[in-house]
């Protein structure tokens, strides 16, 4: 059973490991950027004059991106954000950030689970054109545009990074899935003409205590849901069980995983419950 396949429904909120770990990762990404940026985030008035606030651009306004926005705002930065899903604009603005709109129509940008869908090459090209103007004027870019089960879209090109002011920082939170930045190398720090590009693949590990506690709560809630009298009895009529069940009786049963492996679809399971299996 795969915890990252927990469906985004109200009953499963307490089990949603992707959201809990993304919350930690969004916080950590901004702290990491603040450590590397050679200037302070907040607006400060000093005896030597006024220090302008840092400008932060967040690409992707999922759970990770929203937490990054909130953290950057708490540190005093001026924040802008973009997402292909127009519906997240209200959430972005509620956190005090400006939503960057695209001058193109977005169709089918969100799947049934609330995650972003992959877009066409033409759309991505236009998106990069709009992003270029914002990226160049930013001190920090937090890239968190992810598509479940697919390679992350490349939104920040090498040319954009070259146009940023030396000392600027890009934190690519999509590094494990290929990266949103063309220059990203997983778990490496790249210095490109004075701009630092970071590609961490395990941001929650930087806040290990809270990441572990939230993950443990997710797992315990999931186990209480699927265990019956101490045994694992997967009820495949239950949406939470059905969406997280990868293998059963030595066979891959998850439809999307079977498709990704090039396997034929299975016939629908008979009955409402399977016999108890060993966890």
CA distances from 224 to 12, 79, 146 (A): 12, 40, 30
> Residues 52, 126: one domain?
yes
> Residues 277, 179: one domain?
no
Neighbours of 102 (CB within 10 A): 16
Flag whether 216 is in a domain: no
Q: Is 11 a catalytic site residue?
A: no
Instruction: Provide the whole-model pTM.
Output: 0.85
> Residues 189, 110: one domain?
yes
Q: Lowest-confidence range among 122-126, 129-133, 176-180, 203-207?
A: 122-126
Q: Is 127 a catalytic site residue?
A: no
Residue scoring higher pLDDT (70 or 231): 70
The reported pLDDT for the residue numbered 239 is 94
Is a pLDDT exceeding 50 seen at residue 270? yes
> Residues 61, 196: one domain?
yes
Name the DSSP class of 216. Answer: H
The reported pLDDT for the residue numbered 127 is 72
Of the candidates 2, 11, 13, 187, the residue annotated as catalytic is 13
Distance CA 26, CA 22 (A): 6
Residue scoring higher pLDDT (248 or 34): 34
* Cα 266-146-133 angle, rounded to 5 deg: 150
Q: Is 16 a catalytic site residue?
A: yes
Flag whether 211 is in a domain: no
> Residues 38, 94: one domain?
yes
pLDDT tens digits, residue range 165-188?
A: 999 999 999 999 999 999 999 999
Of the candidates 14, 98, 115, 126, the residue annotated as catalytic is 115
Distance CA 195, CA 160 (A): 11
Of the candidates 16, 83, 139, 274, the residue annotated as catalytic is 16
Of the candidates 8, 89, 126, 242, the residue annotated as catalytic is 8
């Amino acid at each position: 059973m795969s915890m990252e396949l927990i469906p985004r429904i109200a009953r499963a909120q307490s089990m949603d490991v992707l959201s809990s770990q993304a919350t930690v990762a969004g916080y950590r990404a901004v702290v990491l950027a603040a450590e590397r940026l050679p200037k302070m985030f907040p607006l400060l008035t000093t005896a030597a004059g006024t220090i302008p606030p840092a400008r932060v651009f967040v690409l992707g306004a999922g759970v990770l991106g929203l937490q990054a926005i909130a953290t950057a705002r708490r540190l005093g930065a001026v924040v802008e954000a973009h997402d292909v899903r127009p519906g997240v604009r209200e959430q972005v603005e509620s956190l005090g950030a400006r939503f960057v709109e695209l001058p193109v129509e977005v169709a089918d940008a969100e799947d049934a689970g609330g995650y972003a869908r992959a877009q066409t090459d033409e759309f991505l090209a236009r998106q990069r054109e709009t992003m270029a103007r914002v990226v160049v004027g930013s001190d920090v870019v937090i890239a968190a545009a992810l598509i479940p089960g697919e390679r992350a879209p490349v939104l920040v090109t090498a040319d954009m990074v070259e146009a940023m002011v030396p000392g600027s920082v890009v934190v690519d939170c999509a590094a494990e899935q290929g990266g949103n930045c063309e220059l990203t190398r997983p778990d490496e720090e790249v210095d490109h003409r004075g701009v630092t590009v970071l590609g961490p693949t395990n941001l929650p590990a930087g806040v290990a205590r809270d990441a572990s506690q939230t993950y443990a709560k997710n797992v315990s809630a999931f186990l209480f849901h699927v265990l019956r009298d101490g045994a694992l009895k997967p009820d495949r009529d239950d949406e939470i069980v059905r969406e997280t069940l990868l293998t059963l009786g030595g066979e891959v049963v998850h439809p999307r995983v079977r498709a990704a492996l090039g396997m034929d679809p299975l016939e629908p399971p008979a009955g409402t419950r399977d016999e108890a299996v060993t966890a």
